[in-house]
A and B are shown apart, each in its own frame.
Chain A
Amino acid sequence: MSQLMEAKDTFLSLFDEASSDRSGEPGWLRQLRQNAMDRFGEMGLPKATDEAWRETSIKPIVEGTFGRSSSSESALASDYYYKGFDAHQLVFVNGRFNAERSNIGDLPAGVKLTNFADAVTKYGEMVQDYLGRLCDWKERSFAALNTALAGDGYFLHVPKNTVVDRPINVLWISEPGDQAAASFARNILIVEESADVKLVETHIGPQGTTYLTCPVTENFVSANANVDHYVVQDDSTKAFHIGEQCLEQGRDSRFRSHTFTFGASITRNGVFGYLRGENIDSILNGLYVLRGKQHCATFMQMEHIAPHCDSHELYKGVLDEESSGVFRGRIFVHQTAQKTDAKQTNQNLLLTDKAQVMSKPQLEIYADDVKCTHGATTGQLDREALFYLRSRGLRKNEARALLIHAFASDLTERVQIDAIRDKVEELLWERLPRS
C-alpha cells in the first residue's frame, strides 16, 4: 500500500514540475488541471481490489519511477513507420509535438489540424467547450492523471460536409533515453455533421526501453458523419500503455474503430462510447497478439441511449508463451434505446498452457425490444486442421502459423487503408511461429 502512496507522490511531483509549462495557459485550463489532480490525489492509483483492475496488476508501474523527458529528438522519426503511406503526418516525440518531423500538408478548407498546445492558443474556446466532456476523469485514476498532466496531442476539427480524402496519421514515438519517462497525450477529434475522415493513431518506441504512455482521445462524431479510426500500438515490450478512447455519436453517424495491440508489457485499452442519436452504426474491433509476459486488457463500455442503434464489437486475442489477456466489455442499453442491435464477441486463442485469458462480456439491458447478443470463446488450434495441413506437407510451425494467421486475419482484413493493413500483417507474421 505504501508503494501505491509513493507512486502517487511521484505523479503529484510530476504535476508540480510541469507547473512552469502551464504558466502560459488560460485560467480555465489551469483550473481543470488542478481539479483533476486533486481528484487523482483523492483516488490514488487503482488498487488490486478495484473490480476494474482485478486482473491487471499495475505493480511494475507502481514500482517504476517516471520522470519527464526533455528530449524531443528521435532516431525512429526518420520515416513515418508505414511504407508508402500518403497521409497528413503529425509526429510527437516523448509527448511533445515535433513540427520539423511532421508534415501536415494541405487540408481541405476549414479543417483544423494542429497539436493540442497550439489549439489551446488558437481555438481556446472550442477546446474549452470539448475538453473533458467525454472523459470521465472524476471516476478513473488514469483519466484524471491525463487530464491534469495532459501534454501534447492532436486537435482535429472537420467542419460540416467536409471530406478529408487523405488519411491522417498521428505518430507517437517514445524514446525516453536513460530515464523512464511518462507522457500523457490528450487528443480531441471533432467531426461535424456529414463530414468524413480517416485517422490513425500509432504508438511506437525502441525495444527494450521503459516508459509509460497514457493517451486519451475524445471523439465527437456528429450526425451523419463518418469516421474510420485506427490505433496501432507497437510500443516497447518493456513499456506501459494505459490508453482511453471516448466516443460520442450523433444520429445516423458511423464510427469504425480498429485497435491493434502488439507491444507494451502492460496494455490497457479503455473504450467508453455513448450513442446519443438514432440509427447509429458503431463498430469497434480489436486484435491483440501477445507473447512473453505481455498483458493486454480491454475495458469497454458502450451505452445505448437512443433507439435504433447498432453496435458491433469483435475482439480477438492470440496469446503465446506466458502472456495474459483480459476482455471486459459491457453493453448498457438504456430504457430509451429500443430496437438496439448490439453484438459483442471475444475470441481467444491460447497457444501454451502458461498463457491465460479472462473474458467478461457483459450485458445490462433496460429496454425490452432489443437484440443483444454476446459470445466468448477460448480454445486452442484445431488439431484436425493442423493434421490436415501437415498431411499436405507443411511443417508443424508453418501449419500453426497459417492457422493462427487465419484466425487473426479476420481483423486485419477489415483495415481499409492498404499501408496500415500491410504493416499490421507484417507485425502479425513477425509474431507467428517460424519454420
Chain B
Amino acid sequence: MPSTSETTINEFAQREYQHGFVTDIEQESLPPGLSEDTVRFISAKKNEPEWMLEWRLKAYRHWLTMTEPVWPKVDYPPVDFQAASYYSAPKSDADRPKSLDEVDPKLLETYEKLGIPLREQEMLAGVAVDAVFDSVSVATTFKDKLHDLGIVFCSMSEAIKNHPELVKKYIGSVVPHTDNFYAALNCAVFSDGSFVYIPKGVRCPMELSTYFRINAQNTGQFERTLIVAEEGSHVSYLEGCTAPQRDENQLHAAVVELVAMDNAQIKYSTVQNWYPGDEEGRGGIYNFVTKRGICKGANSKISWTQVETGSAITWKYPSCILQGDNSIGEFYSVALTANRQQADTGTKMIHIGKNTRSTIISKGISAGKGQNTYRGLVKIMKNAEGARNYTQCDSMLIGDKCGAHTFPYIDIRNSTAAAEHEATTSKIGEDQIFYCNQRGLSEEDAVSLIVNGFCKEVLAELPMEFAVEAQKLLGISLEGSVG
C-alpha cells in the first residue's frame, strides 16, 4: 500500500469527534436513581392521566424481573441504572448561548459543511431564540395545514392529553412493555416523543422531518414515538438530524412503534449522529433502541431507512411484522463505526401474511477500531404463502484493526417462500484510490467518493435534502484531522 493512503487511513482511524462541545444548562433534574417514585414523579410532572401511570408502573414492575441482554456483539462496562437521572427538562433560556458567536466555531464549521441554513443552525446549537422569530410562524403555518387535513402531529405528552383514546389504543400494541429489557425501561420512564396520526386516505403533504427540525425540542433520553397510518394514508417521517446532536445523557433507550392499516404507507428515516466518545470510546452515548412496525392491513408498506454514524454503542433492529396480505417491509441501513465505536444493528422481517415481501439492504463501514455487526432475522411463517425476501449485506473495512461481522438468521417454514441472502466484505482498493488520485481527487475526497458510492442504494432512499446532507456527513465522519 502506498504510504499516502496509509497516512489517510491512519487519519481516519484517529479522527476525533469534531462536534463535541459542552453547554451547561441548569436543569430541573431528578436525583439519580430509579424506583416507583421516579416513575410516579415523571408521570405527575407531565400531568398524565391515571391509566398512563398504571401502564408505566406495570412496565416498571416487569422491568425489575428482566435481565440485561448479553447476546449482542458489543462490549461495554455494565450500566448502573441507578446512577442515571431519569428526568431532566431544560430550565431557562438565560444560560444558553445568546448568538451563534458564542457557539464553538468547529461546530459551526460542520453545520456549514452540511449546508444547514443559519436559522436552523441557531436552533440546533441551542441558541436562545426570540419568540417572534420567523421559524415559529413557519411552524404555525405547517401546523395549520396539517390540522386542516386532520393529521395529528404533536408531542407524546400532548397526545396523551388531547387524544387519549388513540394513544390508549395503539401505545404498546407493537412493542409491548414485556418485549425486551430496554423497551420495558422505556415504557416505565419515557420522557417524551412524537405522535403522528394520519387519517384515512390522507397523504401527508410534507416530510414531517422539516417540521420536526424546526421544532427540535429536547425530547430527552427515553424517546417514545408512535405513528399510526390509517387506511390508504401515506406519511414520511424523519427522526434525528445530520447535525451533531447535543446531549448530556449517556444512556438512550428509545422505542418507536409504527402501525400501517390497509394500503397505508409509512416511511421512517433516521439519521443518528450522537457523540461517539473519544478515541478510546470513553463518554460516548449508548444507544439501545427498539423500533418496530406492523403492517396490519393488506397492501400496506413500512420502510425503514437509517444512517447511523454516531454513538459509542448502537443496538438497534428496526423490524417489520408483515401481517397483512401483500404487505411490504423494507430496511435500508448504513452503519459507520470508527475509533472504538461498536454497532450491532440489523432488522427483523416477520412474514405472516400471504405474498408478503421484504427487502434488506445493509451497508456497514468499519474504520479505526470500530466493530460493525449486522444481525438480521428473516422469518417466514407457515401461512406466508408466496413470501419473498431479498437480503444484501455489504461490509467495508478501512484499516486493519476494525471488524465487520454478519449474523443472519433465516427461518423458513413455508415451501412457496423464497429467501435470499448475500453478503460481501471488501476494502477500499488501492487501485480505486489511485484512479481517483490521477483524476485529481485528494485521498480524502476519493475515500468519501468511494464510501458514498458504496452506500448509494441506501442514501437514495432518504428524503432528498437529507440524502445530500447524509452524503456529506459520511465524508465528515470519516475525516481525519485534515479539516
Residues of A bordering B, CB below 8 Å: 51, 335, 338, 348, 350-353, 355-380
Contacts and interface: CB of A to CB of B under 8 A. Distances in A.
Contact of B401 (A335, A357, A358, A373): A335
Contact of A379 (B382, B399, B417, B427): B417
B422 A365 contact: no
Contacts of B82: none
Interface of B: 71, 382, 395, 397-427
A368 B410 contact: no
Given A363-B404, A379-B417, A380-B418, 19 more contacts: A353-B382, A357-B410, A357-B411, A358-B409, A359-B408, A360-B407, A360-B408, A361-B421, A363-B395, A364-B406, A365-B405, A372-B425, A374-B423, A375-B423, A377-B420, A378-B417, A378-B418, A379-B418, A380-B417
Contacts of B407: 360, 362
Contacts of B417: 350, 378-380
Chain B interface SS verdict (over half):
strand
A323 to B, nearest CB: 11
B210 to A, nearest CB: 39
A376 B424 contact: no
B71 A380 contact: no
B422 to A, nearest CB: 5
> A-B pairs with the 9 shortest C-beta distances?
A368-B397, A350-B415, A359-B410, A376-B421, A363-B406, A356-B413, A379-B418, A372-B425, A366-B403
Nearest to A366: B403
Contact of A358 (B402, B411, B427): B411
Contact of A353 (B397, B403, B416): B416
Contacts of A355: 415
Contact of A380 (B397, B399, B416): B416
A350 B382 CA distance: 12
21 contacts: A335-B400, A335-B401, A350-B414, A353-B414, A357-B412, A358-B409, A359-B411, A360-B410, A361-B408, A365-B397, A365-B404, A366-B402, A366-B403, A367-B400, A368-B402, A374-B406, A374-B423, A375-B421, A375-B423, A377-B418, A378-B418
Chain A interface SS verdict (over half):
strand
Nearest to B397: A368
Contact of A365 (B395, B398, B418): B395
Nearest to A342: B425
A362 B427 contact: no
Given A358-B410, A361-B408, A368-B397, A378 B419 contact: yes
Nearest to B429: A369
A357 B427 CA distance: 32
A348 B407 CA distance: 18
A362 B408 contact: yes
B49 to A, nearest CB: 40
A353 to B, nearest CB: 5
Contacts of A338: 400
B425 A370 contact: yes
Given A338-B400, A368-B398, A356 B420 contact: no
Nearest to B428: A368
Contact of B405 (A360, A363, A378): A363
B425 A371 contact: yes
Contacts of B402: 366, 368
Given A365-B404, A369-B400, A376 B426 contact: no
Contacts of A365: 395, 397, 403-405, 425
Nearest to A368: B397
Nearest to A370: B425
Contacts of A360: 407-410
Contacts of B399: 368
Given A367-B400, A369-B400, A370-B425, A377 B415 contact: no
A372 B411 CA distance: 23
A370 B416 CA distance: 35
A366 B426 CA distance: 12
A358 B380 CA distance: 10
Contacts of B382: 353
B456 to A, nearest CB: 20
